[in-house]
Structure 1
Amino acid sequence: MQDTFVTIARFPYSTEAQIVKGRLEADGIEVFLRDNITIDTDPLVSQAIGGVKLKVLAKDEAQARAILQSIKTYALDDDGNAITCPNCNNNSVNLYSTITGFKSFFSFIIGFVTGTLPISARFQYKCDDCDTIVTTED
């Protein structure tokens, strides 16, 4: 069991995954990236295949997760300040994807192909602690 890899994080593109991989390897943790070459070849499939998977050995999972938690950054506003959740007042707010299922993904693809997507979209964020959707003023 200790020689198996477990997924500890997923990234939409390989650039961020490579940075985190380098950080973990600097601490002596063996890291394996899955699907990074596929996504580098065709970035549009990232959502469909679940992004780049960052995997570590099962014996290193706890240490790797602790390192990930220590370097995790949250969303910032235009002035570089952390976005605060209005419900719990914590700064653990991340970008929230509105494409949540096959129906919304299919609608997005149809809109993209036909050119009927909105010209601008509002950013939506969600608090990791209380799941409150946080709106920002553009």
Structure 2
Amino acid sequence: MSQTFKTIAKFQYSSEAQIIKGRLESEGIQVFLSDNLTIDTDPLVSNAIGGVKLKVLSKDAMQAQHILETINRYSVDDNGNAIHCPNCNSQEVAMFSTIKDFKSFFAFVFGFIAGTLPFYSKDKYRCDNCNTEFDIK
């Protein structure tokens, strides 16, 4: 019997794909990652080769897609509760990192020159409904 794989998701880095792979395997779905070793060796080629492809057997594709849709992509607080937008009260709030002030810009440039990760970056939240940007205190 021929078993063919179907790509159901693509990720920029293999760590993201490994997390989803673990979730799908816990549900009994056989998962195969392609191009993950290439990207682990040289992460800069991820966009050039289309990222890490997460593949499942064709017969399990619908079930795997359903599981992927149940994973919440929006931010939660330390207690696991959804973060609400202060403007429209939506729960569709995602965290993003920004470099807007001199301190974060200087740390980024210094980290880039020194070959290390940036020392300072500020995380903010953005509502997907009204595009309001805000901090959590």
TM-score (norm 2): 0.58
User: Alignment partner of 2:53: what SS?
Assistant: strand
Aligned residue in 2 for 1:45: 44
1:93/1:137 Cα in 2 relative to 1: closer, same or farther (>3 Å)? Answer: closer
What is the SS of the residue equivalent to 1:132? coil
Give the 3 Å change call, closer, same or farther, for CA 64–134 of structure 1 in structure 2: farther
Aligned partners of 1:62, 1:34: CA distance in 2, in Å? 20
Gap regions ≥5 residues in structure 1: 99-109
Give 1:103's aligned residue. Answer: none
Please name the residue that 2:93 is paired with: 93
Other structure's SS at 1:95 match: strand
The yes-or-no answer on 1:74 pairing with 2:57 is no
Name the CA shift for 1:79/1:29 in 2 (closer, same or farther; >3 Å).
closer
Identical aligned residues as a percent = 48
The two structures, once aligned, show a CA RMSD in angstroms of 3.8
Identify the residue that residue 132 of structure 1 maps to in structure 2.
131
SS at match of 2:44: helix
Per the alignment, residue 21 of structure 2 pairs with: 21
CA drift of 1:46 comes to: 7.1
SS at match of 1:40: helix
- The answer to whether the 8 A contact 2:92-2:127 is kept is yes
1:37 positional shift: 1.5
- 2:8 match: 7
Cα deviation code 1:84-107 (max 9, x no counterpart): 233542323223366xxxxxxxxx
Per the normalisation by structure 1, the TM-score is 0.58
Give the Å deviation of 1:67: 0.9
Q: Which 4+ stretches in 1 moved above 6 angstroms?
A: none
Alignment partners' CA distance in 1, 2:39 and 2:78: 29
For 2:68, the aligned partner's letter is L
2:9 is paired with a residue of what secondary structure? strand
Structure 2 stretches of 5 or more lacking a match? 99-107
Counterpart in the other structure of 2:113 = 114
